Structure 1
Amino acid sequence: MDQKLTGRAKSLVRRAHRHLWFETYAPVLAIGILAIVLFFTCAAFGIWQRIGDPWRYIALLATLVVLAKSLLGAQRQKPPNLSAAKRRVELDNALHHRPLDTIIDKPAFSNHDGAVWTTHLSKSQKCLENATPTKLRPTLGEVDKYYLRFVAPALLVLAMMVGAGDNYERLRSALTPGWIYGISAKDTNFEAWIDPPEYTLRPPSYFKNSNRVNAPEGSRFVVRMTGIKTAPRLLIKDGLKTKRVKAKRLGPKSFEASVIVNKTAQASIRIGQMTKTWHLDVGKDAPPFIQFDEKPKAGKRDKLIFTYNLNDDFGVRELFLSVALETDPDNTDEIQVDLPGTNVRKTSKEKASLDLTKHKWAGKKVVGRLL
């Protein structure tokens, strides 16, 4: 038997088998798949976010009922087998005497007429050499008079383009259990700010006339939403990484979402076609610059007098003079130096004096530095 012809015959049968499966189950499952596509389309368009419940629940329940009915109908269908696929190939090519069975068959009796069998086998092989692949029959057209099989996918693609960047979040929200109230961008008020780390002693930085703000590493970004009963999640984009933050309810119509930011990021909240965006330019807290302006000297009443320069991007809260004996540099002692404020960012030629007359190393040579 020609292996090439056998392979061609198997290929024709497999193709016909797939067509039979589609023609058997597609008309039955079409209505269920259509219901799912329409529900997802509404989610991508933001309709469920806009109108909320109970309409979302009603649509979801209707979708599940239609899908269940379609699945039950599909269960009643008889799955097509390979024998039916062979008959389909022969029917579409007007082949008689079942050549697909003949090429793998053998004579039933040993005393058969070899010439007759050879002729019969040769005719079957020639028929298959000229056979063409089967084509799908328009079974969906019989149940879809309005071409919804084309309209629905096109609407879904359009909806996903409209909701680009937020499709997963909208679908997740549409399938999340719990009561969802409809929300509108025009009813929502936003207030956002940055809470710097406590050690900086800096007040919150609000987004007033700009949607961009500089923040030290470790700051907390906070956004408060009012005027809505259901809040979308906050989206944080850090390069290629994204993170969703759930908002915490503060009152019947107020929510707050917050997140610690350690890198430059973009925060956003989308409601319908409105996207509120905040740019967070996060920088590392560089160590403070501090040095003696001139060499320390003795003043009145033997006080140590010196001046210094100080500069820090987020401010200095405490300053110390660290001293160590020249003969024992590893043994240090720190004396606090008074600052001209509670949080000093910059000062030049700042005067300071320390009474070290009662210090344990008074009268001895020491090495000092500012910390």
Structure 2
Amino acid sequence: MTEPAGKTADSNKTGSALPAALEAAAQRRITTAVGRARRVLVWEAAWPRIVPILCLGGLFLVLSWLGLWPRMADPLRYVVLAAFGIAYVGLILHLARMPLPSRDEALARVARESAMEHRPATAFGDRLSQPSDDPLTQSLWRAHRLRLLERLDHLSAGLPSPGMNARDPYALRFLLPLVLVVAFLMAGPDRIDRIADAIRPAAAATEAPPRIDAWVTPPAYTSRPPIFLTGDAARPGSLDPNVPLKVPQGSVVTLRMPAEPDLAAHAVSTGGQPLVFDAAPPPKTQTDAPTPAEHKLTLSRDSALTVARGDRTLLSWSFAVTPDEPPKIELTREPSATQSGALSLGYSVSDDYGVMSAAAAISAPEAPAESGARPLVAAPELPLNLPRLRMREGNGETIRDLSAHPWAGAKVKMRLTATDEAGQTSESPTIEFTLPMRAFRNPIARAVVEQRRVLALDARKAPNVAMAIDAITLYPDKFKTNGPYLALRTAYHRLTGQPSDAELVETVDFLWQIALGIEDGDLSLAAQDLRAAQEALRKAIESNASDAELEKAMQDLREAMDKYLEALAQDAARNPQSANRQPMDPNTQVLRPEDLKKMMDQIENLAKTGSRDAAQQMLSQLQQMMENLEASRSQQGQDGQNGPMNQALDKLGEMIQRQQQLMDRTFKMDPDTDGSGAEAQPMSPEERQKALQELREGQQGLQKMLQELQQTMKQQGMQPDGKLGQADRSMGDAADQLGEGAPGQAVGPQGQALQALREGARSLADQMARQNGSATRQGGPMPGQDPLGRQQQGRGTDLGSTVKVPDAIDTQRAREILDMIRKRLGDPSRPLIERDYLERLLQKY
């Protein structure tokens, strides 16, 4: 066997017997295994030296976090710290003097952990004792080294085995981490300070930081949660001490800290003026333990609060107080009168946290010209309705019948006031207007009311009023019955002589009753009693009255309603010509006593179940219905002069209904809507085209009907509102979209046309009201409504004036829930915490 010349031949002579590339790869494997073995040997030698260092550090942290340093005397503490330092230095030097393992030790580790015969890592480094050119020797040597090379892939250094179990047979090294975790949790946020106590001077070390609790409680009406100034919630990152904390005006800062002589709290405003804490006596305790001092500060302006021990500041906070803005209230329209003579006010209110109450303050525009006048009756009080309690922003309406007040018909000043829960009050600009008064058709009734006003405004005019009443009763034959005549003579005798002011006030009321009896008989008196019962129920609901008081108020309302309906029927029987002047519309809904009873029952159920806002809203609807009924009675004599307008309103109501139907049908034709595929049958292209053509023709016919109505209105002297022209254009756009086969694009213009028709109808109704001589608010029914203000079947659509209130099913469910709560509350076997919760559920807010 011959060998190639050159390097291979030289290698064979030296004893390698392998090519240089294989020799280099084998050496890399051996070097890698030796490196791993060295690292393992280093870890096995270093870890037993590192564990004492870690344990000594953990022991230092345990002593610090348990707060033992401040309890040691200074010499002992210094000795312990010195012992810790010496031990640290010794352990670190012991670690530094650790010898590093040699290559032979690493090869021995590899041979031991690999557990292979002939120790391939060590044997691969062997060489022939003497170079030989014998082919057989060379072949055997090459085969031997190739077998070693194959085993080099399985070299292993093993896992470290420091032998800590032999050095620490009781595993005390595992107890220290457990104690360390417990001490860490006990130290809380003062961990760093407790570590620093080890090197602090004795004076500072003995003064452990006191336990201080501080929080801010915003006013309840702001609905904001308390803000904690201490504890985990106030750690760095949640409260920046350099940024003032924004709090509402009226917030209360509560500071609770130990009652120590050198521990004090100081509060100053941003201007540097000192602030006085609220008086807060410390709570009484049954033990002799020191009671923590509690300080409270009500924030009304930007302030800063500091807690200091001696000259050293422990805690400090600054507060930026957000002022509580006063409420705002203003009229949204001029004061007006309903057809029945009641005062109607529309207004808007707003507040940053909610308005609690509102009222209208009425006063005389100027002092009486004649000095020394002695009025018997003060100005009327007028509380205002709020849509809901603590309303932040919204509109309200109040209808109050002041026609019975002696000031009715007089020119007065009025300003609206609103009050929030903080007690702040604001006023609207003062306006002058004439209080609405009832229009008496009977001249005797008008004369009696006028004399009543004279007497109420000046008690000294009693003799003059007596003379006027005597003159009114000179001709008894002018009276239809003897009752009013005898009542006036009684009033005359009351005014003669020397009556007291109390008797004169009774006479003022008596004259009003006489005037009502002369005007309408029992009907006016019944209407007055009905309004009084409605007002009493409204006050009971607002004052959160008990169920018994609500039942009594509801019973009074039912009785007053029965008397009013009975008087209304008697008046219709006495004056059949007024009731039959115009034929009954077949679509008009009939108001039955059962309907009124059902509505009043629902008001009572809503009030008792806690839905007081909904009950008050429904009561307002009932009041509005009765006002509309009075308005319809007063408008019966004006139907002739308003005939064209009424016809136009009827036409608009019909068009509103037809436009709504067209829009519904068009919406169902749109293939992109979910509602079309659920109920409509599949349509062929021919059927769909025919349906779209019918819709287009219907829309065009409705547009032509609207154009004819506008032309008719112009011919009769009426001015159509611009909204009707807008409706005309929107109808044309919808017809064009239907002609192009795009029902989805036609729904939008149809909706715009529907809204414009509604607004045009309202504008026409207001125009008719102004021609009737009423104020800016029309008290009568709107188009598509019956005289009670309810929507008529087949007469237009809802114009958006209704308010959603709970129906009978909702109120019945609420009643069942309340009964179940009361039943569980009466069960003594239930836990106390559950009974407390149920009792809070029954509280009325």
**Paired residue for 1:283?**
320
Q: Which has the higher contact order (CA 8 A, sep 6+)?
A: 1
Contact 2:278 2:296 in 1 (8 A): no
Contact 2:62 2:179 in 1 (8 A): yes
**Paired residue for 1:361?**
none
**Paired residue for 2:672?**
none
Match of 1:136, SS?
Answer: coil
Structure 1 position 25 matched with structure 2 position 46? yes
More helix by share: 2
Cα deviation, residue 47, structure 1:
2.1
Contact 1:217 1:284 in 2 (8 A): yes
Q: Does the C-alpha gap of structure 1 residues 71 and 199 become closer, same or farther in structure 2, counting only changes over 3 Å?
A: closer
Contact 2:66 2:183 in 1 (8 A): yes
**Paired residue for 2:148?**
124
Match of 1:163, SS?
Answer: helix
**Paired residue for 1:223?**
307
Match of 1:222, SS?
Answer: strand
Q: Does the C-alpha gap of structure 1 residues 39 and 107 become closer, same or farther in structure 2, counting only changes over 3 Å?
A: same
Structure 1 position 141 matched with structure 2 position 165? yes
Match 1:63 to one of 57, 61, 84: 84
What is the rounded CA distance, in whole Å, between the counterparts of 1:216 and 1:6 in structure 2?
84
The one-letter code matched in structure 1 to 2:184 is M
The one-letter code matched in structure 2 to 1:69 is G
What is the rounded CA distance, in whole Å, between the counterparts of 2:34 and 2:278 in structure 1?
70
Pairwise mapping of residues 72-91 of structure 1 onto structure 2 (< 5 A)?
A: 72-91=93-112
Match 1:178 to one of 194, 197, 201: 201
Q: Does the C-alpha gap of structure 1 residues 202 and 67 become closer, same or farther in structure 2, counting only changes over 3 Å?
A: closer
Structure 1 position 193 matched with structure 2 position 217? no
Cα deviation, residue 68, structure 1:
1.5
Contact 2:277 2:296 in 1 (8 A): no
What is the rounded CA distance, in whole Å, between the counterparts of 1:9 and 1:197 in structure 2?
79
TM norm structure 1: 0.51
**Paired residue for 1:257?**
314
My pick for the range that moved more, 136-145 or 104-113, is 104-113
Contact 1:44 1:163 in 2 (8 A): yes
Give the number of equivalent residue pairs: 253
Q: Does the C-alpha gap of structure 1 residues 92 and 46 become closer, same or farther in structure 2, counting only changes over 3 Å?
A: same
Cα deviation, residue 62, structure 1:
0.9
Cα deviation, residue 8, structure 1:
6.8
Cα deviation, residue 97, structure 1:
5.3
Q: Give the aligned CA root-mean-square deviation in angstroms.
A: 4.9
**Paired residue for 2:63?**
42
What is the rounded CA distance, in whole Å, between the counterparts of 1:93 and 1:211 in structure 2?
76
What is the rounded CA distance, in whole Å, between the counterparts of 1:107 and 1:217 in structure 2?
99
Contact 1:51 1:182 in 2 (8 A): no
What is the rounded CA distance, in whole Å, between the counterparts of 1:131 and 1:20 in structure 2?
16
**Paired residue for 1:163?**
187
My pick for the range that moved more, 215-224 or 101-110, is 101-110
What is the rounded CA distance, in whole Å, between the counterparts of 1:285 and 1:151 in structure 2?
54
Match of 2:271, SS?
Answer: helix
Contact 1:195 1:204 in 2 (8 A): yes
Cα deviation, residue 13, structure 1:
3.8
What is the rounded CA distance, in whole Å, between the counterparts of 1:213 and 1:97 in structure 2?
89
Cα deviation, residue 48, structure 1:
1.9
TM norm structure 2: 0.25
My pick for the range that moved more, 2-11 or 133-142, is 2-11
More strand by share: 1
**Paired residue for 2:735?**
none
**Paired residue for 1:203?**
275
What is the rounded CA distance, in whole Å, between the counterparts of 1:39 and 1:133 in structure 2?
37
Q: Does the C-alpha gap of structure 1 residues 258 and 31 become closer, same or farther in structure 2, counting only changes over 3 Å?
A: closer
Larger Rg: 2
Match of 1:87, SS?
Answer: helix
Q: String of CA shifts for 1:101-141, please: whole Å, max 9, x gaps.
A: 66689989997765344433333344343444412334333
Contact 1:32 1:68 in 2 (8 A): no
**Paired residue for 1:94?**
115
What is the rounded CA distance, in whole Å, between the counterparts of 2:186 and 2:131 in structure 1?
72
Cα deviation, residue 78, structure 1:
1.3
Contact 2:270 2:304 in 1 (8 A): no
Q: String of CA shifts for 1:177-232, please: whole Å, max 9, x gaps.
A: 5335445669964655352334274614479576886658974332234xxxxxxx
Gaps of 5+ in 2: 1-21, 212-256, 283-293, 327-423, 428-845
**Paired residue for 1:306?**
none
Match of 1:166, SS?
Answer: helix
The one-letter code matched in structure 1 to 2:190 is D
The one-letter code matched in structure 2 to 1:257 is L
What is the rounded CA distance, in whole Å, between the counterparts of 1:84 and 1:213 in structure 2?
77
What is the rounded CA distance, in whole Å, between the counterparts of 2:302 and 2:193 in structure 1?
27
Q: String of CA shifts for 1:279-335, please: whole Å, max 9, x gaps.
A: xxx33455998xxxxxxxxxxxxxxxxxxxxxxxxxxxxxxxxxxxxxxxxxxxxxx
Gaps of 5+ in 1: 226-248, 262-281, 290-345, 350-371
Q: Does the C-alpha gap of structure 1 residues 9 and 45 become closer, same or farther in structure 2, counting only changes over 3 Å?
A: farther
Contact 1:51 1:183 in 2 (8 A): no
Match of 1:223, SS?
Answer: strand
Q: Does the C-alpha gap of structure 1 residues 16 and 194 become closer, same or farther in structure 2, counting only changes over 3 Å?
A: farther
**Paired residue for 1:242?**
none
Indicate the percent of aligned positions where both proteins have the same amino acid: 21
Q: Does the C-alpha gap of structure 1 residues 158 and 115 become closer, same or farther in structure 2, counting only changes over 3 Å?
A: farther
